[in-house]
Structures are given as C-alpha cells and as structure tokens.
Structure 1
C-alpha cells in the first residue's frame, strides 16, 4: 500500500527537512511550487508529476484538504524502546499517549512536542491512532522531528523508564491532583496524556509518581487533549 502525505505545510516541510523520506511529489495542474521548494526538488532530482484533477484526486480519499500538493513517502519508521534508549542523544522529556483516537489530536500533539523539544513520544500498538496521512498533515510536516516509539504494553514501558531514573507525571482531572503550577518537574520527566473521552487508565494512574491538572474556570468539562498537551509542555519547558 502506498503512503501519501498531503497539504502545503506538510509536504513542503518534509521536502525542506526530510527529503529522503519522499519517493515522489504530485502537484495539481494549475498550482505552482514555491520557488524555494522547486529549487530543492531540482537540486535533489526528486521525481515529480503534474496531474489533472481526476487523476490527482484518485490518489487519496475524497474530502481531504490537499491544497494541490501530495507526496508519496516511505513507510513510517517507528522506533523500538531499546533503540530509543541506545540513541546517543540525552533523554530528558518523554511523552506517553494512552489511547489517543483522533488523528487531528495526534498530529497536533506531535507538532507541539516538536516545538517544545520532547525527546520521544510513546504510543501503544493497539487502541491508538497510528501515523496516518491525516496525522502527518495535522503535524504540519513535523512527524519526523520527534521519535515515535511503539510498544505492546504501556505499563511495561513505564516500568522501564522508572528503572532509568524517570519520574512519571499523569494529567488527571480529580480533586487529589495538584495544580500544574505546583508541580516541580524533574529533569527526567515522563508526561502521560489520556484518551479524549476516558482519560488515563486506572492501572497507569497507580504507577504514576504525581498526578496534576490544569486549573480552569470550569465553564466546560475539560480542555481538548491537544490544547491541554500544549499547556503542559509549555509549563514543563519553564521548569
């Protein structure tokens, strides 16, 4: 099965920063490449095609906002946890996602994690949206900026991180949780973000060293998960 990313930001950012991940580029007739992007395409001898609308639209499902640009990319390369540890880069900030379902949320979280220097994102193999074209578009081409580690069991991954000196902080909305402003994040911190509807599983909460919440005026029940993640990572970056 061929993998496509689409949308101006996602495709152009990938061409600029991760061109080796791209197999070929398609542009809708009547559209033009940004001059800088076209210069890179020519310099790197990247295969590209200008397609009529019917052929262009046949590459991806109906209704997506492709903005006249599609790129075929290689299969996404998830890391294994052991390979993440073996990478020479110092690991200090890790994000764990517990069953995020929405591609837009996942992509937005990846983008935010990239902006705030997260060293790795850990997801589970099941009951979690994977890296899809919709996720790639929502990440605005930052999907390759942050290692994404796929594991069979989040609890085992958390235990492994604890063994390596990480402290575990879960975003959990209840009366016992501290306000995020009161949390003194450790240099080696794991932040856990829960599912859009059900939050973090109870077994994972039990493994956490701290639970925290974002104080709001309670006009609505809770923040969108990607918005909440942005606030959390901003607070973490300040500490």
Structure 2
C-alpha cells in the first residue's frame, strides 16, 4: 500500500566519518613485551628479588670484613702505636714499622706525609681503613685516624747502658741510670722515659716480672722518648743493681722516709743509679737493702707520697741541677760515700 511504504533516509556524502582527530592514536599502539614478574613492583617476585640482592650485598660485605680482618691481624708480640703526634714522633725516632693504617680522610694531612714517605722507603704497606675498624683494632683508644704496626720492642743489655755513660750531648758527665722496682703502670714508665730523656739519663732498667714493659701505651705517653732512651729488662733487679755497683755506680733509692734529701746529695756528680719503687709498696726489702743511700723528696706533711713517675722526674731534675752546679771532681778524689756491694745470696 502506498500509504504504508517505507522510505529511507538519504545517505550523507561520502568521506571520512567524524573522529578524535588522531588524539587517541597512542592508545592503539602496543606497550611492548610484558615485564618480568620480578620487575613489577607490585608483584611478590619483586620483593623476593630485593631480598636476594640484599643478601648478596651482606655476603659481599662479610667477605670484605673477613679479608680486612685478616689484613689487620697483628702478628704475635706486635703493638699498635696510635695518634698523630705519637706516630710522627715514633717514625722520626727511627722505630721499625711493619704497616701503616690510615683513614682515607687523612690522605692530605701534611704532618702524616713524613710517615707515608718513611713507610714507602721501608717497603711497609699503607692500609686504608675506616675509623670504625681502627676503633675495633685499638679497643676504642683515641687513634685520630692513624696507627702504625711495630714489632716487639728490642730491649738493651745492662752493659749497653753503662757504655752510653758520658756520650751524646752530655758528654763528660758521669753515668746516670734509672731503675724501677715493681712499677706496673705503663703510663708511669712512659713518663719516666720522658723525664730520663729530658735530664740526660743513659737508660732505664726494669725487671722482667711484676713490671711494665715497653708497649704502645708507653710509646704514646713517652712522646717518642722510648726510642731515645734504651730500656734494659733484667731477670732480677737486685742482681742488676749489684752489677752496676761493681761497675762504680752508687745506688740511690727514693723513699719518703729516707735519711738524706735528694737535693743535698754530696756525690751527685758520681755515677748514679736512681731506684724508684711502686707508689703503693715503695721499694722492696732487698732492693732497699742494696741501695747505698735512701733519699727523700721534701714534700708537704699532708701528702703521704708522690706518684712514682713524678718522684722520679723531680729526683732527676735535682740530680741534673746538682751536677750542673758542682765543680769537676779532681782526678783520684774518692766520693763521700763508698758503694755497698750486696751479698751474693740476695737474689
């Protein structure tokens, strides 16, 4: 029926349909291959990857620490001298050194340049370490980022100290030796070495037992004097005093109850061995009996005693002062006091 005939809408013109104008073109491009699961930050495999990398780093650091500890291991009997001034003084004094440990931050320090040059000349390795490693190596001592590894101290013989008498800058003066009886504090020994160097002593005698030896602590306190003043370590101090007395030395013991004053010795210009005891017990009985004279240092009555190192320093100063003021002893003139040689059974 003509009334029911369907009519079609006329078609539009041919041509491109309306669109975005190419603005959505990137959405149609591919995004490349799919990332691995371990590279997707939200995936559990990524967490496992991070954990594995952290474990590898820890293992590498552990291997490095193990290798470093092996490199830092000290040989038996070796000591560490730490601190800039003690290290520089020790190197200048000619102490043998095996290695130099230094923090990287000190590479440009002018004061340590001499240490580096000396180590290079001696063929001693220069090991760069962290301050934390030096803390562990020195048990928390104040190292200032530098330390040197030195072999055990070479002690002199008693005869070596006698042969040094009258040599060096104080040539012409009688021999002067310091003997320490049961002084166990290394700081006291270091301070005594410093005083001995200052007042021209030929050396220091210490017993092998119940006495401090020359260690890194002694080196540091002595400020290099440990290299300038020889130390003799003897099996028996009384026997050593007897030997020195046979060689012409007078043994002067320091004690608060001494019958003589150290500033009034009439034979200060004769060869002397100054004997100092420990601060608590003082001179041992046999040591006291072996001494020719027991001298005291006049102090205030309220003070019972002086530190061993302080007393030795004062006594050395007084002896040096008396010697400087005394006229040269005439040839063949006998001293005011004859040395008493102890009996052979005092051992």
After TM superposition, the score normalised by the length of structure 2 is 0.63
Q: Tell me by how many angstroms 1:43 deviates.
A: 5.8
Q: Distance in 2 between matches of 1:88 and 1:121?
A: 12
Q: Distance in 2 between matches of 1:102 and 1:42?
A: 34
Q: Distance in 2 between matches of 1:98 and 1:33?
A: 45
Q: Distance in 2 between matches of 1:233 and 1:199?
A: 18
Match of 2:149 in 1: 72
Alignment root-mean-square deviation, CA: 2.1
Q: Distance in 2 between matches of 1:113 and 1:86?
A: 16
Question: Counting helix residues as a fraction of each chain, which structure ranks higher?
Answer: 2
- With CA pairs under 8 Å and 6+ residues apart, which has the higher RCO, 1 or 2? 1
- Tell me: CA distance 1:77–1:139, structure 2 relative to 1, closer, same or farther (3 Å): same
In the alignment, is the contact (CA less than 8 A) between 2:98 and 2:150 conserved in 1? yes
- Tell me: CA distance 1:78–1:32, structure 2 relative to 1, closer, same or farther (3 Å): same
Match of 2:311 in 1: 228
Question: Counting strand residues as a fraction of each chain, which structure ranks higher?
Answer: 1
Match of 1:30 in 2: 105
Q: Tell me by how many angstroms 1:82 deviates.
A: 3.6
**Runs in 1 of length 4+ with deviation above 3 angstroms?**
31-34, 82-91
Q: Distance in 1 between matches of 2:87 and 2:108?
A: 11
Match of 1:180 among 262, 266, 276: 262
Give the length in aligned residue pairs. Answer: 236
Q: Tell me by how many angstroms 1:39 deviates.
A: 4.0
Is it true that 1:161 corresponds to 2:248 in the alignment?
no
After TM superposition, the score normalised by the length of structure 1 is 0.90
In the alignment, is the contact (CA less than 8 A) between 1:28 and 1:50 conserved in 2? yes
**Gaps (5+ residues) in structure 1?**
none
- Tell me: CA distance 1:67–1:43, structure 2 relative to 1, closer, same or farther (3 Å): closer
In the alignment, is the contact (CA less than 8 A) between 1:29 and 1:53 conserved in 2? no
Moved more, 158-167 or 137-146: 137-146
Q: Distance in 1 between matches of 2:182 and 2:281?
A: 9
What is the 5 A alignment of 1:99-110? 99-110=182-193
Q: Distance in 2 between matches of 1:9 and 1:177?
A: 42
Deviations 1:20-42 (A, max 9, x none): x1122112343356425404532
Q: Distance in 2 between matches of 1:108 and 1:43?
A: 27
Q: Distance in 2 between matches of 1:227 and 1:67?
A: 28
Match of 1:204 in 2: 287
Moved more, 49-58 or 196-205: 49-58
What's the secondary structure of 1:30's corresponding residue? helix
In the alignment, is the contact (CA less than 8 A) between 1:15 and 1:37 conserved in 2? no
Match of 2:128 among 50, 55, 63: 50
Q: Distance in 2 between matches of 1:50 and 1:6?
A: 15
Q: Distance in 1 between matches of 2:317 and 2:165?
A: 25
**Gaps (5+ residues) in structure 2?**
1-75, 168-173, 323-347
- Tell me: CA distance 1:39–1:80, structure 2 relative to 1, closer, same or farther (3 Å): closer
Larger of the two Rg values belongs to structure: 2
Q: Distance in 2 between matches of 1:220 and 1:42?
A: 49
Match of 1:133 among 208, 213, 216: 216
Q: Distance in 2 between matches of 1:32 and 1:192?
A: 45
